[in-house]
Amino acid sequence: MKFEQDETVLYRLMLAKIRSIINVDGRSCYLLDSLESDHCQYQVPVENRMDHLQKLPMQKITRNAIARSCKSVLEQNDIVAWLSLLKTMHADKMSAEASGRKLPESEKHFYDLTLQRISIILAAGMHQSTADSTQRLFDVLDESVRPAC
């Protein structure tokens, strides 16, 4: 799996965006900009990508069983699955708002719950307020679900 420039990825437990692929001492490396800390960058050798980088995939939600689908993800202790679920529901929310609709209450409940859990974890890990971590998540989510032009 190869990652592309401007792709949002999970680097260990940190959200980052791939700025570019650079050459460092004869090795190709991804240059990542942290989406959680200002002015923080990482260099990850391309050959190490499978150990350190993960895509944030969309999570499949069974539309006629939203509660069961979301609960099964949230019962796991897997932050990548939680982020994936949040990304999926954020895309649904943006789509609904763009067409003048509201997110169904059942999905909104799990969206809010997932957002709150991840914001709290992020705030604790980054030593920042939950409001700041929530805003960072919104920024990343908006960027990650925006259609490519």
Q: Which of 60, 67, 63 is CA-nearest to residue 109? A: 67
pLDDT digits (tens, 9 = 90+) for 88-138: 999 999 999 999 999 889 899 999 999 999 998 888 888 889 999 999 899
Measured between its terminal Cα atoms, the distance across the chain in Å is: 23
Q: CA–CA separation, 28 vs 44, rounded Å? A: 9
User: Does position 11 have pLDDT exceeding 80, yes or no?
Assistant: yes
pLDDT digits (tens, 9 = 90+) for 115-126: 999 998 888 888
User: Does position 148 have pLDDT exceeding 60, yes or no?
Assistant: no
User: Residue 149: what pLDDT?
Assistant: 46
User: Does position 72 have pLDDT exceeding 70, yes or no?
Assistant: yes
High-pLDDT (> 70) share of the chain, % = 93
Provide the mean pLDDT of the chain: 86
CA 123-117-70 angle, 5° bins: 155
User: Does position 147 have pLDDT exceeding 70, yes or no?
Assistant: no
Query: CB of 59 within 8 A of CB of 87?
Result: yes
**CA separation, residue 104 to residues 28, 66, 127 (Å):** 45, 10, 33
Q: CA–CA separation, 32 vs 22, rounded Å? A: 10
Q: What does the CA dihedral 98, 103, 104, 106 come to, rounded to 10 degrees?
A: 160
User: Residue 123: what pLDDT?
Assistant: 87
User: Residue 110: what pLDDT?
Assistant: 93
